[in-house]
C-alpha cells in the first residue's frame, strides 16, 4: 500500500523541514521527486539524501512567488520526466504580528509566497496533469486556517486562502481526474522553530520550546515525518476517493 512507483512528484520548499520529509518519504515509496527550492544548497542537500538512500530525485531552482521562475521550473520537470502526477505546495513563510503591527510590506511578502506561490504552482501543475489524465495536489495549510491564533494575522490570512484554493481546485477539476486536498498542522518541530526561538528568546530557548510544545494537548510538537506520512496517504492511490478536504494534524488542539 501507498507505493508511488512510476509517479513523478514535485515538492516545493523541500530543502528542509516538512517539505524535505515529504520529498524523502515519497522517494522512499518509489516516486521520482523534483525538489523545487529557492535555496539551491538546501534543495541539493535533500536530493543527495534521497540519492544516498537509493531513491530518485532532482533539484530545480524555483522562486514560487515569480511567474517566470515557476514556469521555467515546471518546464524543466516535464522535460526531464515527461509528466507530473503529484504536486505538493509546501513552500511557505511565517510572520508574527497583529493587524496593527503588520505592515503593508509584511502582508505583501506573506501573500507573494504563501498565496500567490500556491496559485502559480497549482496553475502550472494542473495544466500538466490535464495532459496526463489527472493527478493529486496537496497543499500545506495550518490550523491557523481553521481557528484564530494570537499574533498571526498575516499568516492566518494566507493559510485561510490556501484552504479556499484547495476547495476551489477540487471542485473545478474533479471531473478531470485531479484531486486536491490540504493538511493543517499545529506546531511542528522544524529548523524554523529552532531559529525562531534562538532569535526571539535568546537564553530562554528551552523554556519557550517547552511552552510551545505544551500548546498541543499531547504535550509535544509534531514531527515532519508525521506530516509526511499523512501527505503520502493523501497523494497515493489509496486516497482516490478523497478530494476537497482539509486534514488537521494537530496533537489534539482542535478537540480540546
Q: Which residues are catalytic?
A: 155
Q: d(Cα 201, Cα 218) in Å, to the nearest integer?
A: 24
Name the nearest CA neighbour of 239 among 191, 151, 180.
180
Q: d(Cα 133, Cα 8) in Å, to the nearest integer?
A: 14
Name the nearest CA neighbour of 50 among 66, 65, 34.
34
Could you tell me the three cell numbers for 124? Answer: 502550472
Mark residue 54 as left, alpha or beta (left: phi above 0; alpha: psi -120 to 50; beta: remaining). Answer: left
Could you tell me the three cell numbers for 194? Answer: 529552532
Q: d(Cα 33, Cα 37) in Å, to the nearest integer?
A: 12
Pairing assessment for the beta strands 178-185 and 135-140 based on DSSP bridges: parallel
Q: d(Cα 106, Cα 96) in Å, to the nearest integer?
A: 10
User: Is residue 57 within a helix (H) or strand (E), and if so which, with residue range?
Assistant: strand 56-61
DSSP labels for 12-40?
ETTTSHHHHHHHHHHHHTT-EEEEEESSH
**How many Cα atoms sit within 13 Å of 208 on the Cβ side?**
13
Q: What are phi and psi of 252, to 5 degrees?
A: 95, 5
Amino acid at each position: 500500500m501507498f507505493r508511488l512507483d512510476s509517479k513523478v512528484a514535485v515538492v516545493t520548499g523541500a530543502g528542509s523541514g516538512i517539505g524535505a520529509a515529504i520529498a524523502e518519504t515519497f522517494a522512499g515509496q518509489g516516486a521520482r521527486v523534483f525538489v523545487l527550492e529557492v535555496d539551491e544548497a538546501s534543495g541539493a542537500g535533500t536530493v543527495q539524501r534521497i540519492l544516498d538512500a537509493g531513491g530518485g530525485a532532482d533539484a530545480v531552482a524555483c522562486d514560487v512567488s515569480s511567474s517566470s521562475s515557476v514556469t521555467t521550473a515546471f518546464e524543466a520537470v516535464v522535460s526531464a520526466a515527461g509528466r507530473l502526477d503529484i504536486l505538493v505546495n509546501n513552500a511557505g513563510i511565517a510572520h508574527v504580528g497583529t493587524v496593527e503591527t503588520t505592515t503593508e510590506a509584511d502582508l505583501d511578502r506573506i501573500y507573494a509566497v504563501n498565496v500567490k506561490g500556491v496559485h502559480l504552482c497549482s496553475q502550472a501543475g494542473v495544466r500538466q496533469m490535464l495532459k496526463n489524465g489527472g493527478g493529486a495536489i496537496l497543499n500545506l495549510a495550518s490550523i491557523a486556517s481553521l481557528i484564530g491564533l494570537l499574533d498571526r494575522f498575516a499568516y492566518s490570512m494566507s493559510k485561510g486562502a490556501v484552504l479556499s484554493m484547495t476547495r476551489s481546485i477540487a471542485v473545478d477539476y474533479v471531473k478531470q481526474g485531479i484531486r486536491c486536498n490540504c493538511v493543517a498542522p499545529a506546531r511542528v518541530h522544524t529548523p524554523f522553530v529552532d531559529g525562531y526561538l534562538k532569535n526571539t528568546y535568546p537564553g530562554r530557548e528551552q523554556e519557550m520550546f517547552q511552552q510551545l510544545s505544551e500548546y498541543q494537548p499531547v504535550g509535544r510538537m509534531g514531527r515532519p515525518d508525521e506530516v509526511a506520512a499523512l501527505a503520502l496517504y493523501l497523494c497515493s492511490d489509496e486516497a482516490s476517493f478523497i478530494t476537497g478536504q482539509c486534514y488537521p494534524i494537530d496533537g489534539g488542539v482542535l478537540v480540546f
